[in-house]
Structure 1
């Protein structure tokens, strides 16, 4: 009887051990799946839904929310400075003059940043007015910063708060029709941007994106090791790829151009798929189901799990 009891006890312990091992294995497998299927979240212009766009306070707020990447835009000033701004002019939607006045829509392009020195640009207020398209955006007085200043602010903030490193998605705002009107030509523009990034020592943390194929072609030739993202706002994948001579690492379309089959096809062509700008919760959930590699959003908290 004693032998039978000992045998039964041994079997029970062995069973528990197998169960624990199986659970540990399952937990480990689930962890691996979660890590490999993680969708990169990029804070669009910082976190435009709640903070002034392309501002240092907005970038730091996005980092506090846990973004993997801060997305921003750059233009050039008259004195050759790389300025973080979406438009190459003072947008009437959210910018106030140094005197605190609004800018009429019909006059906004008269404030061409390419014809203004950075000292003049910095005097305009990009946060106090708010933005009616983003009613939850907090209002605070701030300005269009230099790219180098943004990098210093982010790197110092991450280090002082013992946070995980963040990466940078930098869009070179470029339009062939605007060469030497509101921007320099691609080679000069790229050289200025890359000089800042190399001086700040963050080249390993960046990718460059643009709608302008000429920018991407010049980047590919002059800086072949830089990760590039091909931004598109319309058209089918095959047609868009005929416009470029190489395969960038990232294809970044307007999210409504995608479905699960299209995402799979792009990925089969060796490119990551990172759509823009996905803001509504239902749309965020939908593109996640498509198995995209990342999401660019004005509301990063909606995409971060």
Structure 2
């Protein structure tokens, strides 16, 4: 009888031990982070493939297509206004003068936005001419808006239409050879941009990106809580990272610089990978297989599933 009791006790302990082991295993499995399959889609300059770039109609169209992020560029006017524009001048590719005349390639840099007041800048038409690089782009008269106006327009549109919030990827267009020629120096430039973003209360929804490491260094020092993206157009990852004193949250290379090995290396360094500007369907599909974190594209509908 005593032997039977001991056997039953040993069986009970074995069952209890098995349950505890399975419980521990399940708990451990729950703690293992699973990589999300969601790839963030960013509308480049709105949706440049079909709408005038960096325009309010273009940003709204991108939102209607379901982008997660609207990507845009900012420059400065003579009177200290933050203007949404890719170039610090009136591009001959898509801009018409207030009189409706075309601008030649030789003339375009004479229209330096940093030497023009915003009232003058707003009179130029950035949508009626279209852009030969984007034959499907809708032609409509529009203008270079202020950053503050873009934010108000987007936020009001989202509320009015009961849409999900979007984030903002704002590129500070900066070139060290252009300091005090077509732009302020980095510290001043950053202050102008951040003043607008703080006044609009959208800091949790933004990241700042730039090719100019000096802009990123200034942002890192003055606004350490803001997400930063390091834009690169050439070079190896290791060499590019030697040019910056800290590790940004995002590494944003030209998509042709990437392969699976490089994506893995960048992620292991603690950064997200968001390539630009990925437009052809085959290229979009290819970078998706690399498990990038986001895609910046002129054709967001091609990347959205």
Normalised by the length of structure 1, the TM-score is: 0.89
Mapped to 1, the partners of 2:187 and 2:260 lie a distance apart of: 37
Corresponding position of 2:168: 168
How big is the shift at 1:131? 0.2
Tell me, what secondary structure is at the counterpart of 1:50? coil
Deviations 1:19-68 (A, max 9, x none): xxxxxxxxxx9xx97x9210000000000000000000000000000000
Corresponding position of 2:72: 72
Corresponding position of 2:189: 189
Mapped to 2, the partners of 1:291 and 1:264 lie a distance apart of: 9
Corresponding position of 1:112: 112
Mapped to 1, the partners of 2:196 and 2:204 lie a distance apart of: 13
How big is the shift at 1:142? 0.1
How big is the shift at 1:297? 0.1
Corresponding position of 2:51: 51
Tell me, what secondary structure is at the counterpart of 2:286? helix
Corresponding position of 1:159: 159
Corresponding position of 2:130: 130
Mapped to 1, the partners of 2:84 and 2:254 lie a distance apart of: 22
How big is the shift at 1:133? 0.1
Tell me, what secondary structure is at the counterpart of 1:216? helix
Mapped to 1, the partners of 2:304 and 2:265 lie a distance apart of: 25
Q: Does 1:63 align with 2:63?
A: yes
Q: How does 1:1-305 map to 2 (within 5 A)?
A: 36-305=36-305
Structure 2 unaligned segments of length 5 or more: list them: 1-29
Corresponding position of 1:24: none
Structure 1 unaligned segments of length 5 or more: list them: 1-28
Mapped to 2, the partners of 1:108 and 1:215 lie a distance apart of: 25
Tell me, what secondary structure is at the counterpart of 1:59? helix
Mapped to 1, the partners of 2:278 and 2:40 lie a distance apart of: 13
Specify the structure having the higher radius of gyration (Cα): 2
Tell me, what secondary structure is at the counterpart of 1:124? coil
How big is the shift at 1:200? 0.3
Q: Deviating runs (4+, > 2 A) in structure 1?
A: none
How big is the shift at 1:218? 0.3
Normalised by the length of structure 2, the TM-score is: 0.89
